[in-house]
Amino acid sequence: MLCGQSPSNRVTNRPAPKPPASTSVFINCPFDEGFKGIFRAIVFTVISSGYHPRCALDSTDSAEIRISKIAKLIGECDWGIHDLSRIEIDPVVGVPRFNMSLELGLHLGARLFGQGRHRRKRALILEAKPHRYDAALSDISGQDIEIHGNDPSRAIRCVRNWLSEHRGRDQPPLIGAIALASDYRLFQSECDALLAARRLGLASQ
């Protein structure tokens, strides 16, 4: 039963089976309010392209060690999107946030030292500003870094083009980035009604 239907049936719900690694995309990004627009645009693009987004928000278990949870998620995904926009000085605590770069390291380590399909892991590295990572994480300077400029439409283009580039020849082409961005704006305009029908609110997302 869907949420919003008979309350007595909710206890019969079962967790959905995990999607196959070949279509699972691990999203490593900030979850703060200021990044929410980019995060939602990334998730929308992944789903619209026929893939399954996975991230640290998938489940909450206070008994689970967080780094073990992240490593398990990365292991279950052949694809990974890593946004390094928050490698900057936090005005409150006065130090940068390194969570995202650590998780990128886990992904690259799995590709370098893993076995089987892990050696074929794909990664998309995103940033808000060009070349800022040169100073903060110079070891990745030789890799292709895509810049979204904190613009959801540019983030959609980055993710869509990356997924399209690595699709098999027997797979249908993805719709264009402009069309996806238009679909996303339509989705946003309908989002409140969709959430209300399921007795949810943006505060719970």
CA 190, CA 204: separation in Å to the nearest integer?
17
CA 76, CA 205: separation in Å to the nearest integer?
23
Q: Which two tokens stand for residue 72?
A: 């398990």
The pTM assigned to this predicted structure is: 0.84
Helix, strand or coil for residue 41? helix
Q: Which of 13-17, 116-120, 121-125 has the lowest mean pLDDT?
A: 13-17
Q: Which of 180, 132, 175, 136 is nearest to 154 (CA)?
A: 180
* Single-letter amino acid, residue 156: I
* Predicted pLDDT of residue 141: 61
Q: What mean pLDDT is predicted for residues 17-33?
A: 92
Show the domains of the chain with their CATH numbers: 19-174 (3.40.50.10140)
CB 125 within 8 A of CB 146: yes
pLDDT(18) > 80 = yes
3 confidence band (pLDDT: 50, 70, 90)? very low
A 10 A CB-CB count for 122 gives 16
Digit-coded pLDDT (tens) for 139-197: 566 577 899 999 999 999 999 999 999 988 889 999 999 999 999 999 989 988 888 88
Q: Which of 202, 55, 25, 37 is nearest to 128 (CA)?
A: 37
CA 182, CA 188: separation in Å to the nearest integer?
10
User: To 5 degrees, how large is the angle CA 2–CA 69–CA 81?
Assistant: 80
Q: What mean pLDDT is predicted for residues 53-63?
A: 86
CA 84, CA 15: separation in Å to the nearest integer?
31
pLDDT(50) > 60 = yes
Q: Which of 39-53, 87-101, 134-148, 165-179 has the lowest mean pLDDT?
A: 134-148
Angle, helices 177-197 vs 36-48, to 10°: value is 100
Quick one: how many helices (H) and strands (E) in the chain?
6, 5
